[in-house]
Structure 1
Amino acid sequence: MSTTLAAGASLELSTVQQIFVIALCALTAFISHMALAVFNDGVRPFLLDFIQGRSKRSSVTAVSFGLSAGFIFGLGAPMALSTGVLNPWLLFLPTDILGLLAPKKWLAPILGGAWGALVVFGLNGANSVAHDLPVDFLTAMQQMSTPILFLFTLFPVLAITKQFGRMWGGIAGLVEVVLVVATMKLWPNMFAGALAMAVGVLLLIGLAVAKDLRRRKADRAAGVTEPVIEGEDPMASLFSASAARLRKYLPLFMVLGAGVCVLAQMHVFGGGEASSFLIAKGQYAEAAQLDFYRVFGFIPLIATTALASGAYGIAGFTLVYPIGYLMPNPFLAAVVGAAVFAVEVLLLSYIGKLLGKLPSVRDSSEHLRNAITDTLQLAILFGSLMAANAMGGGLGILIVGGLYLLNEAMNRPVVRMAAAPTAVIIGGVVLNVLYWLDLFTPLKG
């Protein structure tokens, strides 16, 4: 199976798609303004003080900008330009910021819609200009697809090793490699890591559930019971109030779920780094599979932060991504997306209680998230160096690798995940300047 995109991936959207993206950005900014949901998981915990009036809108906006800017310009924009597919970092992180920034309710959707318009009308123009440059760094960035897709396959192995030790990690790694080789041989048109990831994630969940069941059985045999809390549990009270706040706005969340699901159904949007490349190549079933596995890593995080803060995620548990990819038409996607968000919001309290009784499963989620981050950081760095080599050979590697190392030495003013793609773009600009100064000759092919 080829993992290389066709050269010159573009961001051309139909008029209906353009209008829809603008409207969805307006909606997400409005919801952010009301502190009902944000996309950035790191911002959500700060919203409780804002909701309860203990912090100002300006301070929460500053936090949101500080935690999101690197991902917007260092990851979201480069990924969209190199794949021709929109992503949540480019669309929803800015609407987090703009929604929180807006002092008036009516202004938030205007600012969000304006950002959406800038993306759909401006980004394709930047794409065309970049592809016309002597050093086409956007086409070079498509070199990132192979390491991202294949190294991402290993995230269950890392999670299993961290949680259950080297033996189980070694077994999982061996099984995944065998399955990747078998898939490439027997089903060459299928993404080679699809079956391997499925088995890896199932093995992790199975080990975690088995550990929790053994613990509960041992506790019962030893006569250990759960402690009874006298009076009202303050955390339970907070969780209940947060869940009630979100249920109050259930119709608005259903509209949001419908919108995100329809955007995914249009196949102009990818929910993750790896799935964006698969969407760009038209492999929607494989993209759905990848984003479905990510859900297991984020349900506990999103559920607990939502219950603690009273603010949900713009994409919910992100189930609407893989569901949307597979929907046959936008009308069905809207209905299903609304239903999924309704179920998620209504079951939020129950999910929180269930997670409290399954600590190993909850820990597996954290290990999955960390493993996803670790694999993608290496894949993006390696892919960025491949892009640097494609556009400038040794000089390209020197510039891009040097900028990445400089960012590390300066205590990462640009977050690590976004540092390498940012370095590729800066390196591409530098190589074009050197060409115009007659100091560099672009590589052929």
Structure 2
Amino acid sequence: MLFEINILTIIVMAALGGICAYLANQNIAVFHDGLRPLYPQYLDGVMDRKTLFATSFALSFGLVIGFGIPTSIAGKIIITHTIMLACDIIGTLFSDDRNGKWISTGVGALFGVALLFGMQVLMNIFTILPIDFTGDLGLVGSLIIVSFSVFPAIAVAYQAGVVKGGIVLVLTMVVKQLTVLFGSFTINSVNVQINADGMALLFAIISMVFVATRYNKKSDVGAVDAFAVFGKNIERIKKNMLVLAISGGIVALATTLLLIAEGPASLTLTAEGQYFEAAMVSLGRTLGFIPLVMTTAIISGVYSPAGTKAVHVPAILFINMGILGMVGSFFVGALIMIIEVLLLGFIAAGMDKFPGMKDLGDNARTAMSKVLDIALLVGGMLAANAIAPTIGYIWVIGLFFLNQVSKKPLASMAIGPIGAITMGLIVNILHLIGLFPIV
């Protein structure tokens, strides 16, 4: 793994696991966006704690096992889903009384530390196998940055039609090509190299937001704000602003320490040291998640331990800046969380006036998901083929279609990482029985 195991990282992972479990247990914040809207039923007494836990487990366990852990192993940084979804489960497992509060916090902290050591142990085991395939796992995410600049064009196509989406796609390609040709120059003997993928993504995101602000179905004059009735929920979130700020600071600090990454794309770029590009990808995901996180928070009175994910953006840029970077990351993360909570009512009202922005969030998430599905699948195929040129492609393609017909399919974007990792284990088994000689 890319992170170091020392006193600081152990404390940070314990703090991250502890606070995420605490927030879930005290009904303040959960990471799974689908779990958040169920909390009003629990808070109103319609749903009991056992049902809440069972629902949390059903929603999150498969993602932790089938997506979080394989993606973390492949990228060598723990993806946030692995720890935060698990802590949703831990928090809801215990009652939200005085004892349950501290028990869940302690278990969450222990899980964070166990995850820190466990991921490193897994990587160490892989490296001592007869055929070390860990180097090839980097290919799993090799196509993400190239393909990720496509998602804004797809989002525009969903929102404003395929023609406008096609225009954004073509212009994105033009911007990238122009950056490749003219993005390298010298200023006062200093060579400046502008990243073409980063510029293409930046242009595409700006285009996506521009289209969304112009593509609005105006609501009737005098209509009642859709979110006005949820004022009590907003106030409930604001009452927990301090602990949410601490959570935002810890999440940001963990990101700066390379312990966690907010998504597969930013994980891959961060692992490769492309921090600006990773921050841009994280910003793009934040734009997509603002409407979802805000609306589910407003209707439930329950927020997210990572907020809209905006805390990750500056945190990535603070990497390798030493103690000042770590301190700055924590305080900026906390400040961002405070600003998000304070703006909750304003943003909710803005979504009423500019419904196109809410549609943008829905469309952007759908587009990102589809792009990542393909990028990780093809990346997984490339990695599996690098590990086993004779059978790698067959294995991943077969897994993909078997998953499609399964009664309980895994998330599509998990198939690439799972296929590559299992291919590595398979070739080691084949080698032990003499069917896969080392060339």
TM-score w.r.t. the length of structure 1 is: 0.90
Report the counterpart of residue 3 of structure 1 in structure 2.
none
Query: C-alpha distance in 1, partners of 2:48/2:64?
Result: 24
Query: C-alpha distance in 2, partners of 1:361/1:46?
Result: 24
Query: C-alpha distance in 2, partners of 1:276/1:250?
Result: 28
Q: Which amino acid aligns with 1:203?
A: S
Task: Give 1:90-129 correspondences, 5 Å limit.
Answer: 90-103=82-95, 104-129=100-125
2:370 counterpart of 1:370: no
Pick closer, same or farther for the CA change 1:10–1:317 going to 2, 3 Å: closer
Task: Give 1:77-92 correspondences, 5 Å limit.
Answer: 77-92=69-84
Q: Return the offset for 1:150.
A: 1.0
Deviations 1:63-83 (A, max 9, x none): 222222232222222222222
Q: Secondary structure at the match of 1:37?
A: coil
Q: Secondary structure at the match of 2:308?
A: coil
Query: C-alpha distance in 1, partners of 2:180/2:128?
Result: 36
Query: C-alpha distance in 2, partners of 1:191/1:112?
Result: 39
Task: Give 1:91-240 correspondences, 5 Å limit.
Answer: 91-103=83-95, 104-187=100-183, 190-212=194-216, 216=218, 225-227=221-223, 236-237=228-229, 239-240=230-231
Deviations 1:25-65 (A, max 9, x none): 11111111111111111111112211222212222222222
Report the counterpart of residue 59 of structure 1 in structure 2.
51
Q: Which runs of 5+ in 2 are unaligned?
A: 185-192
Report the counterpart of residue 26 of structure 1 in structure 2.
18
2:234 counterpart of 1:243: yes
Report the counterpart of residue 253 of structure 1 in structure 2.
244
Q: Return the offset for 1:307.
A: 0.6
Report the counterpart of residue 310 of structure 2 in structure 1.
319
Q: Which runs of 5+ in 1 are unaligned?
A: 1-8
What is the RMSD of the two structures over their aligned residues, measured on CA atoms? 2.0
Aligned counterpart for 1:283 among listed residues 274, 285, 293: 274
Task: Give 1:386-405 correspondences, 5 Å limit.
Answer: 386-405=382-401
Q: Return the offset for 1:400.
A: 2.5
Q: Return the offset for 1:293.
A: 1.3
| Equivalenced residues, count | 422
Q: Return the offset for 1:412.
A: 4.3
Pick closer, same or farther for the CA change 1:228–1:254 going to 2, 3 Å: closer
Q: Which amino acid aligns with 1:401?
A: I
Pick closer, same or farther for the CA change 1:366–1:153 going to 2, 3 Å: same
Q: Which amino acid aligns with 1:144?
A: V
2:357 counterpart of 1:361: yes
2:35 counterpart of 1:39: no
Pick closer, same or farther for the CA change 1:323–1:434 going to 2, 3 Å: same
Q: Is the 8 A contact 2:148 2:372 kept in 1?
A: yes
Query: C-alpha distance in 2, partners of 1:376/1:439?
Result: 34
Report the counterpart of residue 384 of structure 1 in structure 2.
380
Query: C-alpha distance in 2, partners of 1:60/1:434?
Result: 44
Deviations 1:181-219 (A, max 9, x none): 23334447554321111111111211221233xx65xx8
Q: Return the offset for 1:10.
A: 4.3
Query: C-alpha distance in 2, partners of 1:29/1:15?
Result: 21
Q: Return the offset for 1:278.
A: 1.5
Query: C-alpha distance in 2, partners of 1:14/1:82?
Result: 22
Q: Is the 8 A contact 1:25 1:112 kept in 2?
A: yes
Q: Which amino acid aligns with 2:67?
A: L
Q: Return the offset for 1:411.
A: 3.8
TM-score w.r.t. the length of structure 2 is: 0.91
Q: Return the offset for 1:262.
A: 1.5
Q: Is the 8 A contact 1:155 1:375 kept in 2?
A: yes
Q: Return the offset for 1:12.
A: 3.1
Q: Is the 8 A contact 2:18 2:104 kept in 1?
A: yes
Q: Is the 8 A contact 1:263 1:269 kept in 2?
A: yes
Pick closer, same or farther for the CA change 1:91–1:190 going to 2, 3 Å: farther
Q: Is the 8 A contact 1:10 1:81 kept in 2?
A: no
Query: C-alpha distance in 2, partners of 1:72/1:37?
Result: 18
Q: Secondary structure at the match of 2:4?
A: coil
Deviations 1:130-185 (A, max 9, x none): 12223334322211222112111110011111211222122111111122223334
Q: Is the 8 A contact 1:74 1:421 kept in 2?
A: no
Q: Secondary structure at the match of 1:13?
A: coil
Q: Is the 8 A contact 1:152 1:372 kept in 2?
A: yes
2:300 counterpart of 1:296: no
Query: C-alpha distance in 2, partners of 1:169/1:284?
Result: 28
Query: C-alpha distance in 2, partners of 1:139/1:411?
Result: 33
Q: Is the 8 A contact 2:3 2:258 kept in 1?
A: no
Q: Is the 8 A contact 2:37 2:299 kept in 1?
A: yes
Identity of aligned residues (%): 30
Report the counterpart of residue 409 of structure 2 in structure 1.
413
Query: C-alpha distance in 1, partners of 2:437/2:412?
Result: 30
Q: Is the 8 A contact 1:11 1:123 kept in 2?
A: no
Q: Secondary structure at the match of 1:291?
A: helix
Query: C-alpha distance in 2, partners of 1:339/1:27?
Result: 17
